[in-house]
A = this chain, B = another copy of it.
Amino acid sequence: MCELLGMSANVPTDICFSFSGLVKRGGETGPHKDGWGIAFYEGVGYREFRDPNPSVDSEIAKLIQRYPIKSKTVISHIRQANVGEICLENTHPFSRELWGRYWSYAHNGQLEESKTHFPASFYLPVGTTDSEQAFCWLLAQIRLNFTDQCAIGPLSQALHQWCEQLRSKGVFNMLLSNGDYLFAYCSTKLSWITREAPFGEAQLSDVEMKVDFKEETTPHDVVTVIATQPLTDNEAWNTILPGELVVFKEGRVVERFLKNTAE
């Protein structure tokens, strides 16, 4: 399995604090030592840092911890490989361009091999993971069924249904973004917290590190962090339910779909 980390904020914000907690799980406080990656949106610009080395030892991860890149939307992932060998092309997040925007995606879980024959489509996987196959399939569905002018409601609803299809094939916790919206779908485990005024202190669970957000923010900032498991031990995190899709924009929940009741 793996761990996911996402951020949605209304002002460009650095993720150094949360990322410092996550990387410890990449070989120190957690077993996720088969690579890691992080994607930042800066306006419509996009950059990723990915490394097949364990995050606790990675020179590049050290840079990300100390060099604050300000972004409104971030997706990060630390990997414990199941399907697909440990190599750069199997390292999340994955990205493709759709409608002149970069779409980024990371997956935690595993889909049953016998159930995951995805027909070749517009987007093809480069690596050998079930995760990247599912991403290419999802993005092709969006491309085939919507346009760049579509409203977020119908798009989110359709995405929820496609994620439900993927959940029926195994474990499918996912973060997906086009820079504006951050889609968080839970199959088994995913939590989030929104920090806003009045800001307080937070203490990481995985490393002796504390931050006083009052000193780092303005009263108008709204910053939501999403993670497989809560990263702090003195704050109350919200749980996303199995089968639930929560859509964030500028740090706020804008859409929410519960699991199919027909189950």
Assembly CA distance A89 to B89 (angstroms): 22
User: Contact string, A30-43, partner B, CB cutoff 8 A, digits 1/0?
Assistant: 00000000000011
Complex copy number for this chain: 2
The answer, yes or no, to whether A146 is at the interface (CB within 8 Å) is no
Within the assembled complex, what's the spacing in Å between the Cα atoms of A125 and B87? 29
Q: A60-B63, A63-B59 are in contact. Are A127 and B44 (CB under 8 A)?
A: yes
Chain B CB within 8 A of A123 CB: yes
A259 within 8 A of B: no
* Stretch in contact with the other chain, from A46-54, A155-163, A229-237: A46-54
Q: Which A231-251 residues sit within 8 Å CB-CB of chain B?
A: none
The closest CB in chain B to the CB of A102 belongs to: B126
**Number of contact residues on A: which range applies?**
20 to 34
Whether, in the assembled complex, A97 has its beta carbon less than 8 Å from a beta carbon of chain B, the answer is: yes
Contacting A45 at CB < 8 Å: which of B47, B60, B88, B102?
B88
Query: Using Cβ atoms and an 8 Å threshold, which residues of chain B touch A125?
Result: 100
Q: Which of B43, B67, B89 contacts A46 (CB 8 A)?
A: B89
Q: Bound state CA distance, A124 and B178, in angstroms?
A: 14
CA of A114 to CA of B58 in the docked complex: distance in angstroms?
Answer: 47
* Interchain CA distance A23-B50 in the complex, whole Å: 22
* A45:B89 contact, CB within 8 angstroms: yes
Q: Name the residue in A46, A49, A97, A102 with the highest tally of chain B Cβ atoms < 10 Å from its Cβ.
A: A97
A59-B67, A100-B126, A124-B100 given; A88·B42 CB < 8 A: yes
Contact for A44 among B59, B60, B91, B126, CB less than 8 A: B126
Interface string of A120-145 (1 = CB under 8 A from B): 00011111000000000000000000
In the complex, the answer to whether B46 meets A126 with C-beta atoms within 8 Å is yes
Q: Among B45, B96, B124, point to the contact of A127 (Cβ < 8 A).
A: B45
> Within 8 Å CB of A87, what residues of B?
42-43, 45
A residues bordering B, Cβ < 8 Å? 42-52, 59-60, 63, 67, 87-91, 96-97, 99-102, 123-127
Across the A-B interface, the 10 shortest Cβ-Cβ residue pairs? A45-B88, A45-B89, A100-B124, A42-B88, A59-B67, A44-B89, A63-B63, A47-B50, A100-B126, A44-B126
